[in-house]
């Protein structure tokens, strides 16, 4: 068991080194993607800062809370797509028949597919959350809880993506649907929870997991609650089981294809 885990960790490391080396072949583009993503995220906080000069409380959040919300959403998004970079391409890989290469390799299919890609701009997202922690002057405890949530929320985000993308085994090209639902999750993860009520809030703790990815983590970072922390971890495990099951069931419908392809 330990040998298997070691071999997967080694593979993960090699994939990341390979992907980042490939991206660094074009160094200006590589640096720009990371820096521009950090600046892009920072622009939103400037707008929030302006809003909080007018009103000290928006949806039960102060400016510091919104900063924490942005930090956890950004870093967990970054963690998810630095680690599982092919998560956002899964539908394309499925409908273009590009899973063949992975199916010929003796590794867990889903793990192999997801980790074989790395989003460079997501490095900027990942770093951005930690830059906010530095600005907030966070203590060691906050750094630790934050980092734990980055991992757990990142996994929730990845698994949600797998569920949505795996629908393409059944529905074929659902690019627009996926793009909308991904935007939906991101959008709801960067606004204070209190501004949503009723049915939307139910959605955020069920179909769209923004509540588990962002709101509960912010709440735990404000007032530590082990129970809520465990709820988020349990949800991540539950969602992983659902995602793996849906993917494996869908895989039986995989049609491969004869498209000519190269790897990036």
Partner 1 sequence: MNVIEVKNLNKQFKSKVKEEGFKGSMKAMFKPEYKIKDAVSDISFNVEAGEMLAFIGPNGAGKSTTIKMLTGILFPTSGDINVLGLNPQKDRKELAYRIGMVNGQKSQLWMHLPAIDSYKLFASIYDIEDKEADKRITELSEVLNLGDIINQPVRTLSLGQRMRCEIAASLIHKPEIIFFDEPTIGLDPVVKQEIRKFVKELNREFNTTVFFTSHDIGDIEKLCKRVIIVNNGQIVLNDSLKNLKYNYLNKKVIDIKFDEEVCLDNVCGIEIIKKKGFDIKMEVNTREQSIKNILECLPLEKIVDINISDIPLEEVIAEIYGK
Residues that bind partner 1 (CB under 8 A): 7, 10-11, 14-15, 18, 21-22, 25-26, 99-101, 103-109, 112, 252, 254-256, 258, 260-264
Whole-angstrom distance, CA of residue 225 vs CA of residue 229: 6
Minimal distance in Å, beta carbon 67 to partner 1?
37
Q: Quick check: 190 and 129 in contact, CB under 8 A?
A: no
CB closer to partner 1 out of 194 and 250 = 250
Tell me which residue has tokens 């895989």: 251
Q: How far is CA 29 from CA 23, 83, 120, 160, in A?
A: 8, 20, 10, 29
Minimal distance in Å, beta carbon 17 to partner 1?
9
Q: SS3 of 58, please?
A: strand
Minimal distance in Å, beta carbon 89 to partner 1?
15
Whole-angstrom distance, CA of residue 125 vs CA of residue 57: 26
CB closer to partner 1 out of 26 and 224 = 26
CB closer to partner 1 out of 16 and 222 = 16
Whole-angstrom distance, CA of residue 102 vs CA of residue 111: 10
Minimal distance in Å, beta carbon 180 to partner 1?
19
Direct distance between the N- and C-terminal alpha carbons of the chain, in angstroms, rounded to an integer: 32
Minimal distance in Å, beta carbon 10 to partner 1?
6
CB closer to partner 1 out of 47 and 262 = 262
Whole-angstrom distance, CA of residue 62 vs CA of residue 45: 12
CB closer to partner 1 out of 11 and 142 = 11
């Amino acid at each position: 068991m330990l040998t298997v885990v070691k071999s997967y960790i080694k593979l993960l490391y090699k994939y990341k080194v390979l992907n980042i080396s490939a991206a660094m072949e074009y160094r200006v583009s590589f640096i720009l993607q990371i820096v521009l993503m950090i600046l892009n995220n920072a622009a939103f906080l400037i707008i929030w800062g302006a809003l909080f000069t007018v009103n000290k409380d928006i949806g039960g959040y102060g400016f510091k809370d919104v900063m924490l919300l942005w930090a956890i959403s950004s870093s967990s998004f970054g963690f998810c797509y630095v680690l599982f970079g092919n998560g956002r391409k899964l539908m394309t890989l499925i409908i273009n028949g590009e899973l063949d290469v992975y199916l010929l390799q003796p590794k867990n299919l889903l793990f192999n597919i997801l980790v074989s890609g790395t989003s460079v701009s997501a490095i900027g997202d990942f770093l951005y959350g930690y830059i906010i922690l530095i600005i907030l002057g966070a203590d060691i405890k906050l750094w630790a809880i934050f980092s734990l949530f980055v991992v757990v929320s990142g996994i929730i985000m990845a698994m949600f993506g797998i569920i949505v993308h795996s629908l393409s085994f059944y529905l074929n090209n659902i690019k627009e649907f996926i793009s909308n639902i991904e935007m939906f999750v991101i959008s709801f993860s960067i606004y204070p929870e209190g501004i949503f009520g009723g049915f939307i809030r139910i959605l955020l703790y069920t179909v769209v997991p923004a509540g588990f990815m962002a709101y509960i983590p912010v709440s735990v970072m404000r007032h530590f609650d082990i129970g809520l922390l465990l709820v988020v971890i349990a949800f991540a495990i539950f969602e992983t089981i659902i995602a793996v099951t849906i993917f494996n069931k869908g895989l039986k419908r995989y049609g491969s294809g004869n498209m000519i392809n190269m790897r990036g």
